[in-house]
Amino acid sequence: MTTDIILEAKNLTKTFGGLMAVDDVSITIKKKIMHAIIGPNGAGKTTLFNLLSGVMPPTNGEVFYKGENITNLPPYKRAHLGIGRSYQITNIFPNLTVLENIRLATQARGGDNFKLFRKADDFQSYIDQAREVIKAVDLAGKEAFLAQNLPHGEKRKLELGIMLACDPELLLFDEPTAGMSSEQVPELIDIINRIVQQHERTAILVEHRMDVVMSISDVITVMNQGRILAEGTPSEIASNSQVQTAYLGDLYGELA
- CATH number for the domain harbouring residue 46: 3.40.50.300
Residue 98, pLDDT score: 97
**Mean pLDDT in runs of 10 for the chain (256 residues)?**
88 94 97 94 92 95 97 90 78 91 84 52 82 95 96 92 91 89 89 87 92 93 95 94 73 48
In this prediction, residue 18 carries a pLDDT of 87
- Say whether both 220 and 159 belong to one domain: no
Both 57 and 183 in a single domain?
A: yes
Q: Tell me, what's the pLDDT at 51?
A: 96
Are 250 and 173 found together in one domain?
yes
Query: Considering its fold, how many domains does the chain have in total?
Result: 2
Q: Are residues 144 and 123 in the same domain?
A: yes
Same domain, 177 and 78: yes
Q: Are 143 and 174 members of one domain?
A: no
Residue 105: predicted pLDDT: 86
Beta sheet of 68-69, edge-to-edge order: 19-30, 5-16, 60-65, 68-69
Residue-number span of the structural domain to which 248 is assigned: 1-82+169-256
Question: 167, 187, 204: which is the final residue of a domain?
Answer: 167
Predicted pLDDT at 91: 73
> Where among 131, 149, 167 does a domain terminate?
167
Same domain? 178 vs 75: yes
Question: Residue 16: what pLDDT?
Answer: 94
The reply to whether 163 and 204 lie within a common domain is: no
Q: Is the pTM of this model over 0.75?
A: yes
Q: Could you say which of 122, 151, 167 is where a domain stops?
A: 167
Q: Are residues 72 and 21 in the same domain?
A: yes
